[in-house]
């Protein structure tokens, strides 16, 4: 129903509301308050000034004097004194409200609600609103909604419109769709009650009840959708039965290293999936350096040997190029007769066309690249496996779209970001999970330290020493260039300074996200070839880059990063057989922060670090600022409602027993909501 059918909402207000994505009455009802104004029990003046200075307070009192009126150049002021039951007086002032004068007769009895302020040493209640006892009693304890607004739109207008919508148009409300047994098991309020009361709670209790219900349903629907997807996946017919190939076994046996037990186990799970009756949807989770790439390569080999094509998608061009080159050289070395091609957005149109042609004709067996590999123009002959690396930047919706591209390929997701178990289901609930929890054996643990900025000189000497021994180093800064908003090191100036500190024969390179892809590739290339020895970079090197010869990681303004992110960065070194070092530089004086950084030095377990990060910084770090892959949460917060999330997970697990569970007739309303979730949040792949 159109919003303009509400009284008081004309074209102009409708236009303002549309800026808040409110177009229909239903949208309006879904515009939840962002905060509340609470009408507390009135207090005495004494308590107000002692405990609530500079807050909004309510005071029951009588007008004790004749009102004075005076003018300043800019406004008309009314002023009087009120006195409470204890006999304490308080001055009240109103600006530009001369019409109140008639209500302020001495002896008039009200609750005065306004901002308490201290002016010239004494307290004043500013712009108080007046309520009769009866009127205030009605409001007391209630929470008045404060809505998200836009310029020109008042809170009052929105509140009035919402009230009208809730009272007159119950058609804009949903029918209850959570089965009654779940509602009683988790003590959830009824849906419509919750929606009404989230707007106009009568009490704190009301508000908490409503919030709990609405947070629960947001989680519940999402988890249901994800679980349902997983059930469906396990029943989706595998049309690409890919058997293990003897040539892959031979390749494994000729590798210069032996697979770790965790790698072997993961590889078995993948082989079983790919040759089994159902399609594979699997996540490989393994800390940085645990050796996920080789597993991906094995899966691609079996796929190609079986006569199909495989694609591997990575988040950055730097990484795409690196993976492509490392696969090519591996294949060359072991004489694997498979054709690998590289596809990236920054290639020229002609280059891309040539690659598309190789894909279409199946001249290419394996395609490595960025998002380009799954875009429409890439038409495969027989795409049977899609691997995405560092998938945490790629959400459930995209995965769903991906599995609908082409003819249901096997899907393998690789992630180096250990995420706390509680959150895993939100991000990866649709997948089976393999965990690679051991690092290849001969690695030496990285040596860590946290130092103040006065240690820099030593750090530079240390870097110079390592370079002299043939090693390379990273220096990470939070910023690309100087910023007005943030006091932190930037790569541009830092590289210049470093130039003056390090011996001349050391080549310093700069890498950051604002550079063109081509430029980045070139720099990375030079670093890989050791033509650059010291790379000053932003966190773009965080994802997956592999330069085993690099042994030093210096992180400036370490306090600005989350522990998980620092752990990721640290994982760029310690990849070869030489001893590696991680130096966290921080000028922080905050003891808590120092402790947090020290803690990182003591542990190498990414999952443990992730749990700590979740407790300390909330879930943002695991998903990035754009919250990729997360459902749209209006009420629920991953920070505040973990308990509710667990409840919702438990409830969803009980509902979805088979792929058919949601088809039960009594669950029809629930099913409709789950399906709506994806269509509303559809995300384009590009
Ligand atoms: P990540 O899991 O971070 O993607 P990589 O796959 O890039 O890690 O592997 C890191 C390095 O470890 C690579 O140089 C790779 O060749 C090597 N590697 C992988 N598996 C093993 C193993 N079982 N033994 C020794 N080295 C290995
Ligand atoms: Mg990797």
Q: Mean pLDDT for each 10-residue chunk of the chain (686 residues)?
A: 86 93 90 90 93 90 94 91 95 93 93 92 94 92 89 93 86 80 94 92 90 93 84 82 96 94 96 93 85 95 97 86 93 96 93 96 95 84 88 63 72 82 75 85 85 93 96 95 84 94 95 88 90 93 78 95 88 88 93 87 83 70 49 74 87 86 88 76 34
What residues are in contact with ligand 1 under a 6 Å CB criterion? 257, 259-260, 263, 286, 288-294, 416, 440, 544, 546, 548, 575
β-strand partners of 487: none
Using CA positions, which residue lies closest to atom 13 of ligand 1?
291
Query: For residue 631, what pLDDT is reported?
Result: 59
> 642-655 and 204-235 are packed helices; what angle lies between their axes, rounded to 10 degrees?
40
Distance CA 364, CA 361 (A): 8
Q: Using the mean position of ligand 2's atoms as its centre, give its distance from the Cα of residue 227 in Å.
A: 27
Q: What does the pLDDT read at residue 625?
A: 41
Predicted pLDDT at 683: 34
Coil/strand/helix, residue 552: strand
Q: What is the DSSP letter of 2?
A: B
Partners of 278 in beta bridges: 237
| Torsions phi, psi for 60 (to 5 deg) | -90, 125
Q: CA separation (Å) from 470 to 275, 456, 510, 541, 644?
A: 46, 21, 20, 21, 53
> Whose Cα sits closest to atom 15 in ligand 1?
291
**CA 596 / ligand 2 centre spacing (Å):** 26
| DSSP E strands, 51-175 | 56-63, 68-71, 76-83, 89-95, 109-119, 122-131, 143-146
Nearest residue to 630 via CA among 418, 423, 400, 435: 423
Å from CA of 435 to ligand 2 middle: 14
* Total length of the chain: 686
**Closest residue (by CA) to atom 20 of ligand 1?**
291
Look up residue 205 and give its two tokens.
Answer: 């209790």
Nearest ligand to the C-alpha of residue 436? 1
pLDDT of residue 354: 96
How far is residue 622's CA from residue 624's CA, in Å, rounded to a whole number?
6
The alpha helices in 155-291, defined as continuous H runs, are 155-168, 180-185, 191-199, 204-235, 246-254, 261-275
Name the closest-CA residue to atom 9, ligand 1: 291
Helices within 98-154 (DSSP H only): 133-139
How far, in Å, is the centroid of ligand 2 from the Cα of 555?
Answer: 21
The 10 Å CB-count burial string (b at 16+, else e) for 653-682 is: eebbeebebbeeeebeebbebbeebbeeee
Nearest CA owner, ligand 1 atom 18: 291
Token pair, residue 463, equals 């870097």
HEC string of 35-60 equals: EEEECCCCECHHHHHHHCCCCEEEEE
Could you give the CA distance from residue 682 to residue 355 in angstroms, rounded to a whole number? 29
Token pair belonging to 632: 């749209």
C-alpha 75/C-alpha 98 separation (Å) is 10
Q: Which ligand is nearest to the CA of 572?
A: 1
Q: Are 24 and 2 in contact (CB under 8 A)?
A: yes
Global pTM? 0.68
The protein residue whose alpha carbon is closest to atom 5 in ligand 1 is 291
Q: SS3 breakdown of the chain: % helix, strand, coil, rounded to 5?
A: 45, 20, 35
Determine the pLDDT at residue 628: 45
**Best of 253, 289, 387, 442 for a ligand 1 pocket test (most atoms within 8 Å of beta carbon):** 289
Residue 336's contacts (CB-CB under 8 Å, 6 or more residues apart) are 247, 251, 301, 330
Measured distance CA(114)–CA(126) in Å, rounded? 6
Phi and psi (nearest 5°) for 115? -85, 125
The alpha-carbon radius of gyration of the chain (Å, integer) is 31
Which residues on neighbouring strands pair with residue 447, listed in sequence order? 581
What is the whole-number distance in angstroms between the Cα of residue 31 and the centre of ligand 2?
Answer: 42
Closest ligand by atom to 267 CA: 1
Name the closest-CA residue to atom 25, ligand 1. Answer: 440
Q: What is the pLDDT of residue 682?
A: 38
Q: How far apart are CA 89 and CA 355, in angstroms?
A: 84
N-term to C-term CA, the chain: 33
């Amino acid at each position: 129903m159109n919003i303009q059918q509400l009284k008081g909402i004309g074209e102009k207000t409708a236009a303002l509301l549309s800026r808040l994505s409110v177009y229909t009455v239903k949208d309006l009802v879904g515009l939840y308050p962002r905060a509340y104004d609470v009408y507390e029990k009135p207090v005495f003046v004494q308590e107000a000034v002692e405990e609530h200075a500079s807050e909004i307070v309510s005071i029951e009192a009588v007008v004790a004097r004749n009102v004075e009126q005076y003018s300043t150049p800019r406004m008309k002021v009314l002023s009087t004194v009120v006195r409470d039951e204890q006999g304490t007086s308080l001055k009240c002032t109103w600006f530009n409200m001369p019409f109140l004068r008639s209500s302020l007769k001495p002896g008039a009895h009200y609750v005065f609600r306004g901002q308490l302020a201290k002016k010239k040493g004494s307290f004043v209640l500013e712009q108080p609103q007046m309520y009769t006892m009866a009127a205030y009693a009605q409001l007391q304890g209630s929470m008045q909604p404060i809505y998200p607004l836009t310029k020109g739109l008042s809170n009052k207008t929105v509140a009035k419109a919402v009230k009208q919508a809730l009272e007159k148009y119950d058609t804009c409300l949903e029918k209850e769709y959570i089965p009654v047994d779940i509602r009683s098991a988790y003590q959830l309020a009824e849906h419509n009650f919750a929606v009404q009361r989230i707007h106009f709670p009568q009490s704190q209790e009301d508000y908490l009840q409503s919030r709990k219900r609405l947070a629960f349903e947001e989680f519940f629907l999402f988890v249901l959708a994800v679980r349902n997807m997983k059930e469906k996946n396990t029943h989706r017919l595998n049309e690409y039965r890919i058997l293990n190939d003897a040539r892959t076994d031979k390749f494994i046996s000729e590798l210069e290293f032996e697979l770790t037990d965790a790698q072997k186990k993961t590889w078995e799970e993948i082989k079983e999936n790919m040759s089994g009756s159902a399609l594979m949807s699997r996540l490989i989770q393994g800390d940085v350096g645990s050796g996920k790439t080789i597993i991906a390569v094995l899966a691609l080999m079996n796929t190609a040997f079986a006569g199909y094509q495989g694609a591997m998608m990575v988040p950055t061009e730097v990484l795409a190029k690196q993976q492509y080159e490392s696969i090519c050289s591996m294949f060359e070395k072991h004489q694997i007769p498979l054709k690998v091609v590289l596809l990236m957005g920054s290639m020229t149109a002609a280059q891309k066309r040539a690659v598309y042609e190789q894909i279409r004709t199946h001249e290419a067996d394996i395609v490595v690249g960025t998002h380009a590999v799954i875009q429409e123009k890439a038409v495969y002959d027989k795409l049977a496996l899609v691997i995405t690396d560092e998938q945490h930047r790629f959400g459930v919706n995209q995965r769903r779209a991906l599995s609908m591209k082409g003819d249901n390929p096997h899907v393998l997701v690789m992630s180096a970001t250990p995420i706390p178990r509680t959150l895993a289901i939100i991000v990866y609930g649709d997948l089976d999970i393999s965990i690679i929890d051991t690092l290849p054996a001969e690695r030496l643990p990285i040596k860590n330290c946290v130092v103040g900025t006065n240690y820099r000189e030593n750090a530079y000497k240390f870097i110079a020493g390592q370079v002299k021994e043939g090693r390379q180093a990273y220096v990470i800064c939070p910023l690309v260039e100087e910023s007005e908003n943030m006091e932190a090191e930037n790569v541009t100036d830092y590289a210049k300074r470093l130039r003056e500190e390090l011996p001349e024969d050391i080549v310093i390179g700069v890498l950051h996200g604002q550079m063109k892809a081509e430029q980045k590739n070139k720099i990375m290339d030079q670093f890989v070839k050791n033509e650059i020895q010291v790379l000053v970079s932003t966190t773009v090197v965080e994802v997956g880059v592999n330069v085993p010869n690099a042994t030093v990681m210096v992180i400036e303004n370490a306090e600005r990063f989350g522990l998980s992110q620092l752990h990721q960065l640290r994982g760029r070194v310690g990849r070869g057989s030489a001893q590696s070092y991680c130096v966290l530089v921080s000028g922080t004086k905050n003891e808590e922060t120092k402790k947090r950084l020290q803690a990182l030095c003591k542990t190498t377990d990414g999952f443990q670090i992730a749990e700590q990060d979740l407790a300390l910084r909330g879930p943002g770090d695991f998903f990035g600022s754009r919250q990729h892959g997360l459902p749209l949460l209006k009420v629920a917060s991953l920070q505040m409602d973990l308990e509710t999330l667990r409840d919702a997970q438990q409830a969803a697990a009980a509902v979805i027993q088979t792929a058919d569970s949601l088809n039960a007739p009594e669950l029809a309303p629930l099913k409709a909501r789950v399906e709506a979730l994806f269509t509303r949040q559809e995300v384009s792949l590009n």
